[in-house]
Amino acid sequence: MTASEEQTAITRASVGLRSERGPVLLAVMLSIGLVAIDSTILATAVPAVVGDLGGFTQFPWLFSVYLLTQAVAVPVYGKVADLFGRKPVMLLGIGLFVVGSLLCGVAWGMGSLIAFRAIQGLGAGAVQPMGMTIVGDIYSMAERAKVQGYIASVWATASVVGPTLGGVFSDYLTWRWIFFVNLPIGLAAAWMIVRRFDEQVERRPHRIDYAGSALLSVGGVLLLLGLLEGGVRWAWTSPASLAVLGAAVVLLVGFALVERRAAEPVLPPWIFRNRVLNASSAGSLVVGVLMLGLTSYVPLYAQTVLHHDAVTAGLALAAMTIGWPIAATTSGRFYLSVGFRATALMGAAFAVAGAALLLTVDPGSSLVHLAAPCFLMGIGFGYVASPAVVAAQSAVTWKDRGVATAANMFARSVGSALGVAAFGAIANGVVAARVAGKVPDLERLPASTLDPAIHAVFVASAVFALLLVAVAVAMPRRVEPAT
């Protein structure tokens, strides 16, 4: 049976929620929903949180610490899942996320809330990659073309439900419910995983790579910390920045040396010699960079330059979160018919078109003019990132699929941190050339100063979008499923 014939034979009845595998798919959707909603629900509640707990200068760490712990845990979880199975890792992730959510809901100060967000991040670091790995395990490449629609619907729903719930809870109940709402969802997902997901795992002794895990975790935290805080909390050339980034380099070099000798390395060296995995990870990394250019600066531009309120400004960015699921849902029919490279090139073309349109935005533009490029770039991200994960998973067997999926998602997290560093440096550089003394918070700048600074970020986004074309060319046309 050819790929097109197999795709024709696959229906929602055979892979959907009512199929034999439907309960497992629903459990995965609920689990990913935890992470998806959490990624949007907190932003609208920040004023209420700060008003209750104080700590205005610390609140950015609510997002940074979550990103740090989530990102560095992903590769370790991926390896553990390949050794002991997906089910225990997924249950651990859900458990940590639920416990972290409960603790966040009863936090007594900004410091404790930040610490409990770190626990949430550790849980999210297992849930998202394990969800995608389980999908890769139980569905064929052609089946995933249909299943991606279900997963994409979770993110599309979360992009609307998350901010709305955050606002409702903050205005009419208490911000603490943005965390408590995770408890029933997480418990339902865990119950379904326990009851309906069975996997056959080879039981044999393993030699855990403790040294590699420790070096990667600490080195990764320091690298991301240096990128996130460089140019913000300290200058790039300051002793603090040099110490953090220098220590990260030393630890990661040590990690690379340890992995060459480890019996069962966390990130096996062969991963970096696999063309499909390299292209897949490179695509995710660039998408991660571009996402930060949009999520950080489009709402800021809408509020401070176009003079819209926060809710209206958020609608411009919501266009990206609408475009991405649309592309992810339809990408399967393209990579099965024309191949992964052509699909990724199509996505890169959408991203370049969106980035070019973004360059035409000026202080006289409408909100629709700002939202349109976000929508186009969201479509581009969907046609690059979703097929990239499928290609990576298809290029390896079960025993390496967790690592392959984790490597792809870790690359996106690193890309996000690089985006924070690069775009922040660009914006601050433009502002510094226009104002005397220390660069103030961007939100406090007049539109006349902020407009060219963010426009420079949009120019950099266009450059990265062009880089996405080169990454797409490196993708293989077809990937033969590994056996």
> Within this chain, do residues 376 and 481 fall inside the same structural domain, yes or no?
yes
Residue 298 has pLDDT above 80, yes or no: yes
Residue 394 has pLDDT above 90, yes or no: no
> Within this chain, do residues 328 and 250 fall inside the same structural domain, yes or no?
no
> Within this chain, do residues 478 and 361 fall inside the same structural domain, yes or no?
yes
Residue 7 has pLDDT above 50, yes or no: no
Q: Residue 72 has what pLDDT?
A: 84
Residue 338 has pLDDT above 80, yes or no: yes
> Within this chain, do residues 133 and 185 fall inside the same structural domain, yes or no?
yes
Residue 352 has pLDDT above 70, yes or no: yes
**Does 125 or 294 have the greater pLDDT score?**
125
Residue 301 has pLDDT above 80, yes or no: yes
Tell me if 375 is assigned to some domain.
Answer: yes
What pLDDT, in 10s, does the model give residues 170-208? 777 888 888 998 999 899 999 989 988 887 776 666 777
Q: 234 phi and psi, to 5 degrees?
A: -145, 160
> Within this chain, do residues 211 and 182 fall inside the same structural domain, yes or no?
no
Q: Residue 96 has what pLDDT?
A: 95
Q: Which domain holds residue 213?
A: 207-263
* CA–CA gap between residue 94 and residue 187 (Å, rounded): 8
pLDDT level of residue 1 (50, 70, 90 thresholds): very low
Residue 344 has pLDDT above 90, yes or no: yes
The CATH number of residue 284's host domain is: 1.20.1250.20
The domain boundary residue, chosen from 149, 173, 202: 202
Residue 227 has pLDDT above 90, yes or no: no
Say which residues have a Cβ less than 8 Å from residue 342's Cβ, sequence separation at least 6.
334, 477
Q: Picking from 153-157, 186-190, 195-199, 363-367, which range would have the lowest pLDDT averaged per residue?
A: 153-157
> Within this chain, do residues 66 and 182 fall inside the same structural domain, yes or no?
yes
Q: Please tell me the pTM assigned to this model.
A: 0.82
**Rounded mean pLDDT of 430-448?**
69
Residue 481 has pLDDT above 80, yes or no: no
pLDDT level of residue 443 (50, 70, 90 thresholds): low
Average pLDDT, the chain: 83
Q: Residue 2 has what pLDDT?
A: 40
Tell me if 391 is assigned to some domain.
Answer: yes
Q: Residue 441 has what pLDDT?
A: 61
Tell me if 166 is assigned to some domain.
Answer: yes
**Does 271 or 9 have the greater pLDDT score?**
271
**Rounded mean pLDDT of 306-310?**
79
> Within this chain, do residues 159 and 93 fall inside the same structural domain, yes or no?
yes
> Within this chain, do residues 107 and 66 fall inside the same structural domain, yes or no?
yes
473, 418, 33, 172: CA torsion to nearest 10: -140
> Within this chain, do residues 218 and 241 fall inside the same structural domain, yes or no?
yes
Q: Quote the percentage of the chain above a pLDDT of 90.
A: 22
Residue 342 has pLDDT above 90, yes or no: yes
Residue 128 has pLDDT above 70, yes or no: yes
Domain count, the chain: 3
